[in-house]
Structure 1
Amino acid sequence: MNRGPTWFNVTSLVLGFAFLYIPILLLIIYSFNGSRLVTIWGGFSTEWYVALLHDEQLLDAVWVTLRVAALSSLVATVLGTLAAIALTRYGRFTGRSVFSGMTYAPLVMPEVITGLSLLLLFVAIGFERGFWTIMLAHTTFTMCFVAVVVQSRLVTFDRSLEEAALDLGCSPAKTFFIITLPLILPAVISGFMLAFTLSMDDLVIASFTTGPGATTLPMRIYSQVRMGVTPEINAICTVMIGFIAIIVLIASIATKHQETVRRREEQAAAQ
């Protein structure tokens, strides 16, 4: 017998969503606060969004953050996908345990340790800290998340499709790009989005690996919050929330479209 949701389940769900989203909603509302004091409502105003256009330091931090997130996520997606394929397809090979441990170590490694170890590495090799050190650091700790997401898809992948393509004369590389990659593309996109979000959100690792002229948005916000929260900070956070929401929406639509196309192709093949 299929029972409906109980009052306990509904209450737990409502409280959970309220705990997660009410603070975000309040942040968005108070970003339109006309008062300089964020705890006192002074009427509706968009002056803090206008002020963002004249805050060069904050805009520079946003630009650095987006560049780091985009580039590190792209590299992490490529490397994470290759790592997932190696762990899934090649069975037992020499050094598999070491390779697997090194791939997934950042998942359980405290960010302070990761940031400090990367800082010591860059200092030891004489690599000047700045934009590229942050990018390499973010690639290091986001690659493992991409590998986990893509590997979970490859575990349930029907390899008979690849075998059929190989029997028809396709090379392994061509088979990967025309068969494997389109089918695992939703997982790859999900991994990229996760890596992009983690990179934009990171504060600890970026603080260890940054240098002159490479201040990310979380670092800038943290330094300003220490002096007190201002409506301008609420405004930039609201803009970033909207930006992330749009990206997630686009990725969701693309994933659903990909799934629809795949189902139609499977139905056509079955007929």
Structure 2
Amino acid sequence: MRRPTLLFVPLWVTYVFLYLPIVVLVVMSFNAGESAYTYEGFSLKWYGELAADERVRNGLINTLVVAVGSTAIATVLGTMLAVGLARHSRSKTLDALALMPAVLPDLVLAIGLLLFYGVIALTLGHYSVILAHGLFSMAFVAAVVRTRLSGADTSLEEASRDLGAGHVVTFMKITLPQLAPGIVAGALLAFTLSLDEFVIAFFTIGNAEPTLPIVIYSMIRFGVTPKINALAAILLLVSFAAVIIGQRLTRIGEGRSAEG
């Protein structure tokens, strides 16, 4: 039975609405002129200027440090949280509290963290941003791993315990391999979220050297240039690459789990 063509019209309109601005941004990043709105020919000069810009290089390094640190924290704690909620708790209240950082507005979470850091007298810096991003991303990791847990074979865990293995051995030998695709997907999601997060970093970084999103914010206050378009295009490339790698690793992990 042939599907009505008109049903695809809203789908393609949505795709155009979502991705046309991204395509325009990438195209304008190769603009030879000084204007961010008028295309005057193909050029790579703005990418060269980015490579020579010390602020951008330092911001990128700071962003990568924060993203890697927060991803490690979010992945470990998010996985533990997901396993605890799925295997040792059936409380809807705890489920809601665990996912609260993911649904709270970034501004509210940022102000709350800033006040908390003030109460415990924690000096702000890159480590405070790492902790904040770890808390923020942990909820997303827990949600992804929890979804993977719902399809895991619990009979293998029960058999492992019946044969005398403890909880730690069962988790490391049985549960963790089954969760590996979800953990990888959650880690890459946490990394991409931290990579371009601005509001929480802006409130919790203090006087430390800024991350890349904060550097971009300071640049666009004086107007959008093709240089900013080039920087945004690179961030898009990194984000897309992380998503594609996550999908590939997830499929590989699922294939190995099915073979096992």
**Normalised-by-shorter TM-score class:** over 0.9
The alpha-carbon distance between structure 1 residues 5 and 216, as it changes in their structure 2 partners (threshold 3 A), is farther
Tell me if structure 1 keeps the 8 A contact 2:128–2:204. yes
In structure 1, which of residues 6, 20, 23 is the aligned counterpart of residue 21 of structure 2? Answer: 23
Deviation at 1:97, TM superposition (A): 6.4
Scaled by the length of structure 1, the TM-score of the pair is 0.90
Corresponding position: 1:137 with 2:97: no
- Tell me: CA distance 1:164–1:8, structure 2 relative to 1, closer, same or farther (3 Å): same
- In structure 1, stretches of 5+ residues that fail to align are 266-271
Give the corresponding residue for 2:67.
Answer: 69
**Which residue of 2 is the match for residue 103 of structure 1?**
98
Distance in 2 between residues matched to 1:207 and 1:98, nearest whole Å: 31
- In 2, Cα distance between equivalents of 1:100 and 1:264: 32
What's 2:12 paired with?
14
CA distance in 2: counterparts of 1:260 and 1:79, whole angstroms:
26
Matched residue, 1:51 = 49
Partner of 2:177: 182
- Cα distance change on mapping 1:256 and 1:100 into 2, 3 Å: closer
Secondary structure, aligned partner of 2:63:
helix
**Counterparts of 1:247 and 1:119, CA distance in 2:** 30
Q: Is the 8 A contact 2:192 2:242 kept in 1?
A: no
Structure 1 partner of 2:38 = 40
Q: Does 2:240 match 1:220?
A: no
Which residue of 157, 174, 178 maps to 1:162?
157
Alignment partners' CA distance in 2, 1:169 and 1:15: 58
Q: Output the CA distance in 1 between the equivalents of 2:131 and 2:77.
A: 12
For residue 87 of structure 1, what is the amino acid of its counterpart?
L
- Is 1:115 aligned to 2:110, yes or no? yes
The reply to whether residue 237 of structure 1 matches residue 235 of structure 2 is no
In terms of mean alpha carbon deviation, does 209-218 or 35-44 score higher?
Answer: 209-218
Deviations 1:187-219 (A, max 9, x none): 111211221122122111111111223312111
Deviation at 1:115, TM superposition (A): 0.7
What does residue range 245-264 of structure 1 map to in structure 2 within 5 Å?
Answer: 245-264=240-259
Aligned match of 1:80:
78
Q: How far did 1:99 drift?
A: 4.4
Structure 1 pair 263/20, CA: closer, same or farther in 2 (3 Å)?
same
Alignment partner of 1:53: what SS?
Answer: helix
Q: Deviations over 1:240-262 (max 9, x none)?
A: 21122222222221111112222
Unaligned runs of 5+ in 2: none
> How far has the Cα of 1:101 moved from its partner?
4.3
Match of 1:268 in 2: none
CA distance in 1: counterparts of 2:89 and 2:240, whole angstroms: 39
RMSD of equivalent CA atoms: 1.7
Structure 1 residue 68: Cα displacement? 0.9
3-state secondary structure, aligned to 1:21: helix
Letter in 2 for 1:90: H
Identical-pair percentage: 39
Please tell me the residue identity of whatever aligns with 1:193: L
Distance change in 2, residues 1:250/1:156 (3 Å) = closer
Alpha-carbon distance, 1:103 to partner:
1.9
> Hey, what's the Cα distance between the residues in 1 that align with 2:146 and 2:129?
26
Query: How does the TM-score come out when normalised to structure 2?
Result: 0.93
| 1:171 Cα offset (Å) | 2.7
How many residue pairs align between the two structures? 260
